[in-house]
Amino acid sequence: MDVLTGLDACTTMEPDEGRVAAARDRLVTPEEATQLAELFRLLGDPTRAQLLYALLEAGELCVCDLTETVEVSDTAVSHALRLLRTAGIVASRRAGRMIYYRLADVHVRMLLDLSREHLRHG
Model pLDDT for residues 16-65, shown as the tens digit of each residue: 889 989 999 999 999 999 999 999 999 999 999 999 999 999 999 999 99
Dihedrals phi, psi of 14, to nearest 5 degrees:
-105, 100
Domain ranges of the chain: 45-121
The continuous run of DSSP H or E covering 42 comes out as helix 30-43
Separation CA 77–CA 88 (nearest Å): 16
Q: How confident is the model at residue 2 (pLDDT cuts 50, 70, 90)?
A: low
Tens of pLDDT, residue by residue over 65-104, are 999 999 999 999 999 999 999 999 999 999 999 999 999 9
Question: For the domain bounded by 45-121, which CATH number is listed?
Answer: 1.10.10.10
93-105: per-residue pLDDT in tens? 999 999 999 999 9
Dihedral Cα 52, 55, 60, 65, nearest 10 deg: -90
pTM of the complete model: 0.81
Handedness of CA 18, 22, 23, 27 (dihedral sign): positive
CA distances in angstroms from 97 to 13, 34, 39, 100, listed in the order given: 65, 36, 30, 10
